[in-house]
Structure 1
């Protein structure tokens, strides 16, 4: 009976330390005046934070969530990093790793460390079968070596599978991404048609920005759909 009372007391203490969206905004708005409840929900959709939910479905943020938000918003504001890069950096920090501070991408072509198949599996903490499934479904192309984007993708597949979302459910996302690239390519036709070095450099500069805007729009649509499904 005493143990049960202690557990109830501990749960009540934890609940009291959790923050609502409004309280999180109060803590962060001085540093980030443009932060809104909609932006917080968008960051949740992008995997920056995963607040707890009350029995009534209300979001409750822990102090660690506030810390992740503060760091993510700082990296976005001061280093112009896309959320996908910020999320990978935060996940590395949470996992006890000591990643280098990421730099803003200078090119749409990935560079950096090359991973063997074994290195890829180890870095993503993924079972071999999951990678084989990703191969067979065309999510990852088999190769001699892989890059950091493959690591991030495989990590995401691991996390999604824990919630019952397996690789076959992700195929439509890849197809959607390919359609977005086609859209970007179409919008840059007038630049790419010139073929000179300056135009190619201009395309390299514009394409990632367009991709970020499309990612933002997609995230907003997802958030709007989640808002209909879940209460605040």
Structure 2
């Protein structure tokens, strides 16, 4: 996906010329009047970790094309914000690679596919905004996962869960505890889950090797690229693991 698209003119039309499809999302104003700080304020309701460097990286990838003023400042339209929201949601919810997201947007732009514009929503189901620095105590982790605190302690003792130096846990720990609880109902206890931790660590080492060249660079764009690449490769590792487990147990199912 090329990042060398021509920049849009500073004044945007509200509709496409006759015979051409209006770029997706349709029916939303394309008049660019918002600064990058305004875009961050709008998106951080749902994506608390989004940064200026992330937005610039997505621009480099051709996924959004903000207007440049005569002074060189970026200005975004409401349609640009919805387009960014779509990209970020596909990455977060489906771990979709940027190339695939770009192809999907191209199909939407051409009218080959259609989808309502993704409206903003809060980051959690209960309406509480989660930030990148949110941590869970052992007690709150157990409560939100529907298990006893002793069960979480057992997972920690077995090395399946790892607490931060403060004794708190990140948000991913909830999924681990919920899955471990379901497996426990089948007689698979914390001791058996150590192999999952070992496998995950090895896969993380592979991902780290892939992103190391980007993480070693100082530019904000390179760091954003490293984060995106880590998410994509990590999801591919997850898909590989899932496929191998399914293939291994296929003979056990009728």
Q: TM-score, normalised by structure 2?
A: 0.47
Change (3 A) 1:168 1:82: farther
Superposition RMSD in Å: 2.8
Bigger Rg, which one: 2
**Residue of structure 1 aligned with 2:204, choices 168, 173, 181:** 181
1:133 aligned to 2:133? no
User: What is the Cα deviation at residue 159 of structure 1?
Assistant: 1.0
Change (3 A) 1:144 1:197: same
1:206 aligned to 2:229? yes
Structure (1/2) with the larger helix percentage = 1
- 2:82 corresponds in structure 1 to none
Structure 1 segments unaligned to the other structure (5+ residues): 1-77, 84-97, 102-109
**3-state DSSP class of the match of 2:172?**
helix
Query: Which runs of at least 4 in structure 1 moved beyond 4 Å after TM superposition?
Result: none
Structure 1 Cα separation of the partners of residues 183 and 215 of structure 2: 37
Post-superposition Cα deviations, 1:122-166, rounded to whole Å, max 9, x if no partner, equal: 111112221121111122234443332112211111111111111
**Residue of structure 2 aligned with 1:196, choices 204, 219, 222:** 219
Q: TM-score, normalised by structure 1?
A: 0.51
Aligned length: 134
Post-superposition Cα deviations, 1:82-126, rounded to whole Å, max 9, x if no partner, equal: 48xxxxxxxxxxxxxx9269xxxxxxxx83753332221111111
Q: Is this contact kept in 2: 1:115–1:145, CA < 8 A?
A: yes
Structure 2 Cα separation of the partners of residues 194 and 147 of structure 1: 27
1:166 aligned to 2:189? yes
**Residue of structure 2 aligned with 1:218, choices 241, 245, 250:** 241
Structure 2 Cα separation of the partners of residues 190 and 178 of structure 1: 20
